[in-house]
Structure 1
Amino acid sequence: MLEGLPPNDATHVMRVSAPRVAAQRIADLIAETYDPAEVAVANFEDPSGAWVVEVFAGAAFDPEDLSELVAWAAGAETAAQVEFSEIAQKDWVAASLEGLAPVVVGPFMVHGAHDRARVKGATIGIEIEAALAFGTGHHGTTQGCLAAVADAARRGRPPRILDIGTGTGVLAIAAARRMRTAVTASDIDAVAVRTARENARANGAGPQIRFVHAPGADTRAVGAGGPYDLILANILLPPLKRLARPLCALLAPGGTVVLSGLLDAQAPAALAAYRARGLHLVTRRSIEGWTTLTLARGGNRPRRR
């Protein structure tokens, strides 16, 4: 996982190793604490199998502040292992991405260019190298959404799909490649839209995906592709709650909505907002403390995974 726009003058690095779940907590807490335009966080599995968190910035860190954050997330023993260093300016984004191991979710393998040869047989390889938008496949929210896309494909072939808050475009690409159908992918961030469009072209999904730069779901550009049979929204709780009305208005009869970007404790609040719009829970997944909800209209019994 890589979060944050890379500082142009990144010369200071914090590095710490931790078990996978603890490393994710450290990365999430630091990413939420600092301005993403000034500090970027990389969380990855190195070739030895150890999980590493690296934090990059153009200005010197306050060691006490960062060590305290690590202690909150993973304990004092891990915080004592934190290392600080200075580096010459370089393409640190590419260096960090080289350490990312492929992520396999159902039929999908999300990987970097260095692991292209590992995609075999019927596996749908999705190559993601971008660092200016969220979504390399390593975060529990992205994995939960990929699993939900695989579920939707098993149930049928939704004619119209919306991926709102597309980030790197990984979910839109997965849906287009797996279901061979039309996808609208939107994001409020123009950089994310450009990144996602480039990723779609690189993965052979460009012709199937219509990219939209839009501030929400109730714009004409987003609505033009609806009503949608499958809506994917991997964002955060506050915008998901605000989007409940417009997303449900865009949903076709019998359609499905997938919500993620939710800590486990936040899931009930998101669920309540969409139940109030007539949707019911179909599936609830929790991966590394992050929940993905699949909702629909009708009366199917909910499942946990």
Structure 2
Amino acid sequence: MVKRTAGSLALVASAAGAWELYKAIGSADGTSVGGVRVLPRADDAAMPHLWTVLHRLGEPELNGGAPIWEVLVKACLTTLGIVSAGFAAGALVGLALAVLMERSSFAERGLLPYVVLSQTVPLVALAPVIAGWGGQLMPQWATVSVIAAYLAFFPVAVGMLRGLQSPSAEAVELMDSYSAGWWKTLVKLRMPASLPYLFPALKLAGAAAVVGAVVGEISTGTRGGIGRLVIEYSREATTDPAKVYTAMLGAALLGLAVTGVLTLAQRLLIKEIRT
């Protein structure tokens, strides 16, 4: 645990050092190859110092208003609620699809290509469609939750399917020799065998749900969440670039928090199983 924490801190420190190093030696106009910019501009308008961004967190969002960190916390909590609903729905749909595809090879051949194909639809185009389907009956937050669920179900469905199919033929034959039916084999053999595949899939789903919620908030104009702050703060990019990075930092920390909660749940469940 200590080594992992030290490694994570070292990685963050390395990334911060690389940022400041490039800002010190990089060109203010960026680096171009063949007329195409391959590295960003290193001026303060495009890449503010990290300490400037951190200092901006403690300053008021508006004159006389609350500090930005407080605004970000409230926005992240709002988005977290949306992410939780979308993640739960997406995970349940993914689990159901995985069980169905494991149960029937016909269903697997028929559904799996469309499950993969579903992830090629641009979210920006999908959000207005979902909002149109919901109309006045679906609040904006529910629309965003559906978008989050749409991204979350895919890794769960694929990862869980692989996990359910992971037991060896000998283990399945042993269950058959005990006259165990499909349901008992699923519960006693396939489900436990799928745990090493399920939790990485859930972590990917959690991160995808955050991305879906942020993009959904931006696309639908949902107010109160971190996605809306990203688009609002980006309008001040030329005059207050550090403010833009505070919103992006908040979104990144939200994703890390969701992944951290899922990692903690994994460790607690594994500990419970071992005891």
TMscore range, shorter length: under 0.3
Using structure 1 for the length normalisation, give the TM-score: 0.22
Using structure 2 for the length normalisation, give the TM-score: 0.23
RCO comparison, higher one (Cα < 8 Å, 6+): 2
- Indicate the structure (1 or 2) with the bigger Cα radius of gyration: 2
More helix by share: 2
